[in-house]
Chain A
Amino acid sequence: MKAVAIPVEVRVAVGADVDIVTARQKGRELAAQCGLSSTDLAVVATAISELARNIVRYAVRGEIVLRAVDNGTKRGIEVVATDDGPGISDVPLAMQDGYSTSGGLGLGLPGVRRLMDEFDIVSRFGKGTTVTVRKWRR
């Protein structure tokens, strides 16, 4: 699905656990501006929280970019979580429920995929990871 960004973009540097809270609050604000329902605001904020925590936990430093998007028929929010951390050696394995390398619940990425409408992950071992998710207004 082609998504055209409308010129609203918020960037949040993520390097400490306080940034997780900042990122999800900014995401909630932008999602509200995009007209998402109150349930979807919580859904988007929760997904951002998980993505931001992965950055802090695995990569130490990265960025969350939030964008209002429009695919021609509907508006939504796009969240891009980028880091230049160690990358994920086996993405299909990381997408399985219950998998974790850091003693967490191991539900991060599959859970985020369930929360959002669109999910894309690009990870290069040793180079970093970019996760892009979108939620459309219903």
Chain B
Amino acid sequence: MQVPILKQGPYLIATVQSALTDDDLKELRNVLVEKVGHLRSRGVIVDVTALDVIDSFATRTLRDVAHMIRLRGAETVIVGIQPEVAFSMVKLGLTLEGVATSLDLEEGLAYLGRPGKASGREGRRDPG
């Protein structure tokens, strides 16, 4: 199951559309880490609204994505974790510590675009 990745200005938006196997998740991780350099992206959004399960492997892979993208000089936001998915993750003992999350795609874009962050708008940054 391939995850479509859309380039929108300085950002990449990966929209997960159905359940992913472990191999699909690894593939998504590798493609994003590659593409963020190829397209010189400043930020990556991974939209997981469609996922009904985020288990230990998916959590670890999403965290790896965020950390690898960080090492590549860009920022990652995971958006769209559903309430029952969040509930299950916490019960299982999983967190996405150190990884930015937003409610949905709109909030994710707002997060990446906030002044002084990975928006490519450094010129307009407020002094102090």
Shortest beta-carbon distance from B49 to chain A in Å: 14
Instruction: Please give me the residue from chain B that is nearest to A42 by CB atom.
Output: B84
Q: List the one stretch of B19-27, B65-73, B103-111 in contact with chain A.
A: B19-27
Q: Is the CB of A43 within 8 A of B94?
A: no
Considering only CB atoms, which chain A residue lies closest to B85 in the complex?
Answer: A42
Residue A18 at the chain B interface, CB threshold 8 Å = yes
Complex formed: what's the CA distance from A42 to B87 in Å? 9
- Specify which chain B residues have a CB less than 8 angstroms from the CB of A38 in the assembled complex: 84
Size bin of chain B's contact surface: 20 to 34
Q: Does B55 contact A (CB under 8 A)?
A: yes
Quick one: which of B19, B82, B91 contacts A111, CB cutoff 8 A? Answer: B91
Known contacts A42-B52, A42-B88, A115-B88; decide if A105 and B94 are in contact (CB<8 Å): yes
Q: A38-B84, A39-B84 are in contact. Are A111 and B21 (CB under 8 A)?
A: no
Task: Please tell me the size bucket of the interface on A.
Answer: 20 to 34
How many A-B residue pairs have C-beta atoms within 8 angstroms? Tell me.
Answer: 77
A133 within 8 A of B: no
CB of A46 within 8 Å of the partner chain: yes
B53 touches A46 (CB 8 A): yes
Convert A6-24 into 0s and 1s, putting 1 for each residue whose CB lies closer than 8 angstroms to a CB of B.
0000000000011011001
Within 8 A of A (CB), among B36-61: 52-57, 59-60
Q: Which residues of B contact A107 (CB under 8 A)?
A: 56, 92-94
* Residue contact A114 to B92, C-beta cutoff 8 Å: yes
- Which residue in B54, B55, B85, B87 is a CB contact (below 8 Å) of A53? B55
When the two chains form the complex, which single residue of B19, B20, B22, B55 contacts A50, counting CB atoms closer than 8 Å? B55
Taking the nearest CB of chain B, how far is it from the CB of A32, in angstroms? 11
**A42-B85, A111-B93 known; A17 and B56 CB under 8 Å?**
no
> Is A108 part of the binding interface, using a Cβ–Cβ cutoff of 8 Å?
yes
Name the residue of chain A whose CB is nearest to the CB of B23: A17
Q: Is the CB of B56 within 8 A of A45?
A: no
Residues of A in contact with B (beta carbons under 8 Å apart):
17-18, 20-21, 24-25, 28, 38-39, 41-43, 45-46, 49-50, 53, 97, 104-105, 107-108, 110-112, 114-115
10 contacts across the A-B interface (CB closer than 8 A): A17-B21, A24-B53, A39-B88, A42-B82, A43-B87, A46-B54, A49-B53, A53-B56, A111-B56, A114-B91
